[in-house]
Structure 1
Amino acid sequence: MALFKAYRRFVVVVWQFLPLVWGYLRDRRRFVLFGGKRRVTTEMRVARARRLLDSLLTLGPTFIKLGQLLSTRPDVLPPEYVEVLADLQDRVPPADYEDAKVVLEDELGPVEERFDDFDDEAISGASLGQVYTAKIDGEEVAVKVRRPDIEGLVEADLRVVRWTLPLVARFVGESRAFSLQNLADEFAKTIREEMDYAREAEMLTEIRGNFADDPSVVIPAVYETHSSNRVLTMEYVPGTKISDVEELDRRGIDREGVAETVERAYLQMIIEDGVFHADPHPGNLAVRDDGAVVFYDFGMSGRVDEFVQSKIVDFYVAVANQDIDAILDALIEMGTLSPEADRATMADVMELAIQDARGEDIETYRVQQIVGQVEDTIYEFPLRLPSNLALVLRVATVVEGVCVTLDPDFDFITVATDYLAEEGYREESVRQFAEETADQFQRSAQSAVRIPPKLESALDRVEREDLHVRADLEDSDGVVDRLARRVVLGLAFATSVPTTAFLYVEADLAAAGVMAAFTAAVGVGLYRSFRKRRGTLATPQFTRQNLGQRRED
């Protein structure tokens, strides 16, 4: 029965996505089966992104969560899609209270006996569950209840995702297929964890303990006696939604201070504690009147191992020092950047990203120059996202957006730099650099002793004419192959033209016709080999000014 349900969902999903797939195929081949690539404008991508958004909403809870995850994956989708899907919040209406009550009583017993009072109007409706308010011993609590029968639908949808992935991978490049596979693995793991409220209670309690001595961060306490795998009861902590800047101003709250608190909290969670809240969109963050930040919904949370922590520190220190080479090295070691990437181009991109993160004005011609450098391979960009870093990237991108909403001039890098200095990470980096420099000096001294005898031996072989040099030609772009093909086609064309003329003069019309057809085919092949390949054109997406303008629109 479950397999039949999955097959039926597969047909529904394919039907919803068929127009988008057809459009993508037409981008690759103007008439699908033949022809060159067609130019895709920003307006076309935005229209398709909105169509994708509608399809995800139509398909229901699982695909809404998938859309939210895709909105944090610039290595999978173009920036227009990321921006449109970033607006995707849980738009699913709450389940009927009577259905939720069945789950409550299955897990906890009669509602009237376990709670002093229970409001049957949900205060929050999400894709996997909904939240109600209630009272226990006179204390107001928030009760999160999993949607009834959601497990079967999620498992069917996960099967559909697994079946669809190999089909999608056939039409994308190797680097994007790598990211898609990681996305599918991460999505399956994340959504199953998010449905397990016992795990959420455990993560919430651990993170709350890590901030026990920090009054600027508030995390609700868990009522273990009223919680289970499908029900989570927490302390009710009200606050102003963090993105409601007008209300924050009305209450006299320092928005810049709130933004700094949010960033410092996440730096501590990721770099020091190794366990973090991974869903910091504005609906899950609030601000109390005293300026303290309240964190809600720990269903999406994760852990960071020591290796990743150390590399993230290396990355932040490199950014703080504006050491582009060290930034690229850290990205390569983390597995997010291919070692074969063009370092010069990536250095330009990183320099631009740092300027944007600092809120500095970026000249449009500079953006266009860098976009031109990566334009031909924009969909094969050498950035990848290993699954163990996916949630970390989600946090980094969403938190930066939250902080900029609070304070448009917020300097993410300066706050991170100050934090690293206060915690001693930058001094540790300096000591490490000194140790590495000493080691390099020692190796250089040893090499200085070993080089003269080897150099003398090499010179002796040169004098005896016994020195052989082997060189391997790297041609990853196929330049030599194309040149050789042009030479062969050129020679064939050069000989076939006079041959055709000779046969025509000799009145052998049949042979002349065959030779003329061959000559025309060779000529077409030679012409096509000289045509400039056109990649999918991209419009600059990097400037903060453009981003702000799009948000206003």
Structure 2
Amino acid sequence: MASLRAYRRFVVVCWRFLPLVWSYARDRRRFLLVGGRRNVSTERQQRRAKRLVDNLLTLGPTFIKLGQILSTRPDVLPPVYVDELTQLQDRVPPADWADAREVLEDEVGPVEQAFDAFDTEAISGASLGQVYTATLDGERVAVKVRRPDIEALIEADLRAIRWLLPVLLFFVDDSRAFSLRNVANEFSTTLREEMDYSREATMLTEIRANLVDDPDVVIPEVYEERSGERVLTMRYVPGTKISDTAELERHDIDRTAVAETLERTYLQMIVTDGVFHADPHPGNLAVQEDGTIVFYDFGMSGRVDAEVQDHIVDFYVAVANQNIESILDTLIEMGTLSPDADRATMAEVMELAIADARGEDVEQYRVQQIVSKVEDTMYEFPLRLPPNLALVLRVATVVEGVCLTLDPDFDFITVATDYLGEQGYYERGARQLLTEAGDQFEASARSSLRLAPKLDRMLNRLDRDDFYVRAAVEDSTGSLDALAKRLVTGLLFGAGAVSTGLLYVDGAETAALVVGVATLGAGLLCWRSFRHRRGGRTTASLAPGRGER
């Protein structure tokens, strides 16, 4: 039964997606196997991106989540698609209360016994779950319930995606195929994590503990005795939607202060704590009358290891100092920029990004514009993004968008620079720089002491005509071997084509057919060798040696 459902979903998914895949393949090669690239206008790309979003919404929960994952992967899709997918909202009508009640009672027991009162009208509905309000021990609580029978649908969809992946890989180049495999591998894990409300409760509790001393932030506590894998019960904390600027104005709330609090909170979560709320769209953020920010929905959350945290700090410091070379070095170390990219071109891109973002005030440049430029470049130089780093990039852009909604003149970089200074990251960087400089000086001194006798020996050998240089070609990636195959298959194809023509003219049709088939095979091998380019490069190494007398 499960396999039959998966087959049915596979057919539906193919029907929805293959026209888009076909168009994309023809953009790369006009006649699929031959021909140059097609020029596709931005308007046409936007129409395709909107059609992609519509298809994802039609296909349901799994594909809505897939679209949200793809919105964090500029190494897979062009910027136009990423922008459109970023707007994908996970809001659908709630399921019937009778079905949701079965899920709730399987986890926490009879509703009348588990809660003092329960409102059966859902206050929000999403693709994976829906939220109700109830009363527990005199306190108002929010109860998040997983959608009934969602597990079977998601498992069928994941199986259909695995079957569809080889078809998609056939139409894309090798580097994009690598990224697609990466997305497919991490997607099923991410989706299952978000379905597990016990994991969400753990992440929420950890983030709340990290921010418990911050009076400007509220994160609702979890009622563990009324929670489980499919149900999450939290304290209900009301507030005004953070993007409702008119209502914030009516309550006389300082919107600039709210924006600064929001950015500082995310900087603490990402740079200091290493665990963060990863879905900061306005529907998950509210503001109370005293300006306190309330965070909802921790289903999408992530962790950042210490190495990535250091790279993020280095990136912000480099941007604040307008040090283009340091920005490029940091992006390469983070894995968001290919080491093979043209540094001169990339430096120009970054300089233009910063200059374009500054405006009239030198200090007014925005991370979102810089990241957007980098994302454009990443699509031209495909690479593999670490999943949590992709989430961090998305969070940074979405948070800045929310801050600019609150205050159009908000200076994202200045707030980040001030926060890093207050936390002592600049001092730590200076101490690290001094330590590295001391180590380098010591190493240089030791090398200088060893250099003199080696130089003396080399000069003696030169004086005795006993010195030569041995050259070795290193071809670890097989580039020379590939070049040789291209030459051989190309020569065979050319010779075969001429031979086929001569044999056919001479009347030896059978021989011409045999030679023609062999020539076609050689031509296909030659074409394949050009299509599947190898990475890396061929290098030559030089080594001194002693000659034989």
TM range (shorter): 0.7 to 0.9
> Partner amino acid for 1:60?
G
> 1:421 Cα shift?
0.6
Give unpaired runs (5+ residues) of structure 1.
Answer: 363-370, 497-509, 512-524, 526-553
Aligned-partner SS, 2:57 = helix
Distance in 2, Cα, partners of 1:224 & 1:477 = 59
1:470 corresponds in structure 2 to: 471
| AA at the equivalent of 2:179 | S
Structure 2 stretches of 5 or more lacking a match?
363-371, 499-504, 507-522, 524-549
1:276-295 matches, cutoff 5 A: 276-295=276-295
Distance of 2:150 and 2:401 partners within structure 1? 31
| Partners of 1:169 and 1:177 within 8 A in 2 | yes
Q: How does 1:43-192 map to 2 (within 5 A)?
A: 43-192=43-192
Does residue 386 (structure 1) correspond to residue 386 (structure 2)? The answer is yes
SS at match of 2:469: coil
SS for the counterpart of 1:436 is helix
Tell me, in whole angstroms, the C-alpha distance in 1 between the residues paired with 2:373 and 2:96.
53
Whether the 8 Å CA contact 1:71–1:86 is kept in 2: the answer is yes
How is 1:235-274 mapped onto 2 (pairs within 5 angstroms)? Answer: 235-274=235-274
* 1: CA distance, partners of 2:12 / 2:374: 41
- Structure 1 residues 83 and 101: CA distance shift in structure 2, 3 A: same
- Asked whether the equivalents of residues 357 and 412 of structure 1 are also in contact (C-alpha less than 8 Å), the reply is no
CA displacement 1:112-137 (0-9 Å, x = unmatched): 33223222221111010011112223
Distance 1:280 1:307 in 2: 24
**% identical equivalent positions:** 69
Change (3 A) 1:460 1:161: farther
Does the 8 A contact of 2:350 with 2:373 survive in 1?
Answer: no
In 2, Cα distance between the equivalents of 1:203 and 1:374? 29
Secondary structure of 1:169's aligned partner: helix
Distance (whole Å) between structure 2 residues aligned to residue 207 and residue 292 of structure 1: 16
CA 453–253 in structure 1, closer or farther in 2 if over 3 Å, else same = same
Amino acid of the structure 1 residue aligned with 2:58: T
Is 2:225 aligned against 1:233?
no
CA contact (8 A) 1:357 1:413 kept: no
Whole-angstrom distance in 2 between the partners of 1:441 and 1:360: 43
Change (3 A) 1:443 1:165: same
**TM-superposed deviation, 1:16:** 0.7
Measure the CA separation in 1 of the matches of 2:287 and 2:374.
Answer: 43
Cα drift, residue 273 of structure 1: 1.4
Q: Secondary structure at the match of 1:141?
A: strand
* One-letter amino acid of the structure 2 residue matched with residue 403 of structure 1: C
Distance across 1 between alignment mates of 2:285 and 2:405: 13
What corresponds to 1:406 in structure 2?
406
Q: Distance in 1 between matches of 2:253 and 2:320?
A: 29
Structure 1 SS opposite 2:276: strand
Structure 1 pair 303–378 and aligned structure 2 pair: CA distance change class (3 A): closer
2:31 aligned partner: 31
Query: Are the structure 2 counterparts of residues 26 and 361 from structure 1 closer, same or farther at C-alpha, using a change threshold of 3 Å?
Result: farther
Amino acid at match of 1:82: V
Deviation at 1:309, TM superposition (A): 2.3
* TM-score, with structure 2 as normaliser: 0.80
Contact 1:359 1:411 in 2 (8 A): no
By how many angstroms is 1:329 displaced?
2.7
State the AA in 2 paired with 1:155: E
Residues 290-309 of structure 1 mapped to structure 2, 5 A cutoff: 290-309=290-309
Shift of 1:353: 4.1
Evaluate the alpha carbon distance shift between residue 294 and residue 332 of structure 1 in structure 2; reply closer, same or farther with a 3 A threshold: same
Q: Which moved more, 1:115-124 or 1:81-90?
A: 115-124
SS at match of 2:413: helix
The letter for the 1-side match of 2:86 is: A
Change (3 A) 1:359 1:131: farther
C-alpha separation in 2, matches of 1:221 and 1:372: 39
Cα distance in 2 between the residues matched to 1:38 and 1:262: 43
Instruction: State the Cα distance separating 1:477 from its structure 2 match.
Output: 11
Partner of 1:317: 317
Q: Give the 3-state SS of the residue equivalent to 2:449 in structure 1.
A: helix
Amino acid at match of 1:434: L
Cα deviation, residue 177, structure 1: 2.5
The 2-side partners of 1:372 and 1:317 are apart by 18
Aligned with 1:286: secondary structure?
Answer: strand
Asked if 1 retains the 8 angstrom alpha-carbon contact of 2:71 and 2:85, the reply is: yes
- The 2-side partners of 1:373 and 1:216 are apart by 33
Amino acid at match of 1:468: V
- C-alpha spacing 1:355/1:473, structure 2 compared with 1 (3 Å): farther
In structure 2, C-alpha distance between the alignment counterparts of 1:358 and 1:118, rounded to whole Å: 53
CA distance in 2, matches of 1:48, 1:156: 26
CA distance in 1, matches of 2:159, 2:245: 42
- Closer/same/farther in 2, CA of residues 441 and 248 from structure 1, 3 Å limit: same
Aligned residue for 1:470, secondary structure, equals strand
Q: CA deviation at 1:348?
A: 2.7
| Aligned equivalent of 1:549 | none
| Residues 49, 374 of structure 1: alpha-carbon distance in 2 compared, 3 angstrom cutoff | closer
CA distance in 1, matches of 2:314, 2:33: 48
3-state SS in 2 of match to 1:437: helix
Which is worse superposed, 77-86 or 298-307? 298-307
What SS does structure 2 have at the residue aligned with 1:192? Answer: helix
User: Is structure 2 residue 213 aligned with structure 1 residue 213?
Assistant: yes
